[in-house]
């Protein structure tokens, strides 16, 4: 599945996006797309909670997807603070760059 497919699913079948985002058998890039698409699902509280958890994932691709997804919620004060922290300490250059692009 492509990243655009996940954004379509996030609008019409968000439960599928939640399932794929948690599916550790998916290729990390595909999983990252699902995680990023969580940022636009209607159940904002559930999405933010899950995205915050993904920001601590050991796989940098997963963390990068979480940064892009949670960036849809920068109006929530704890989100901005959490991203600033991630941007300062994450070992992955791609994750730090994703934070910089989104803040």
| pLDDT tens digits along 18-76 | 999 999 999 999 999 999 999 999 999 999 999 999 999 999 999 999 999 999 999 99
**With bands split at pLDDT 50, 70 and 90, how would you rate the model's confidence at 1?**
confident
pTM: 0.93
The rounded distance, in Å, linking the Cα atoms of 32 and 92 is 15
Q: If you average pLDDT over residues 1-26, what whole number do you get?
A: 92
**With bands split at pLDDT 50, 70 and 90, how would you rate the model's confidence at 2?**
confident
Token reading at 69 = 């997804």
Query: Residue 3 pLDDT more than 80?
Result: no
In order, the DSSP letters of the chain are --HHHHHHHHHH-HHHHHHHHH-TTS-HHHHHHHHHHGGG-S-HHHHHHHHHHHTT-SSHHHHHHHHHHHGGGTTSHHHHHHHHHHHHH-S-HHHHHHHHHH-
């Amino acid at each position: 599945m492509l990243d655009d497919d996940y954004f379509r699913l996030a609008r019409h079948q968000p439960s599928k996006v939640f399932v794929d985002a948690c599916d550790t058998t998916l290729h990390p890039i595909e999983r990252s797309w699902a995680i990023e698409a969580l940022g636009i699902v209607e159940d904002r509280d559930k999405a933010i909670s899950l995205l915050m958890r993904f920001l601590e994932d050991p796989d940098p691709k997963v963390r990068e997807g979480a940064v892009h997804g949670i960036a849809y919620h920068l109006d929530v004060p704890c989100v901005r603070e959490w991203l600033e922290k991630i941007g300062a300490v994450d070992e992955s250059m791609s994750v730090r760059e994703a934070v910089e692009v989104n803040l």
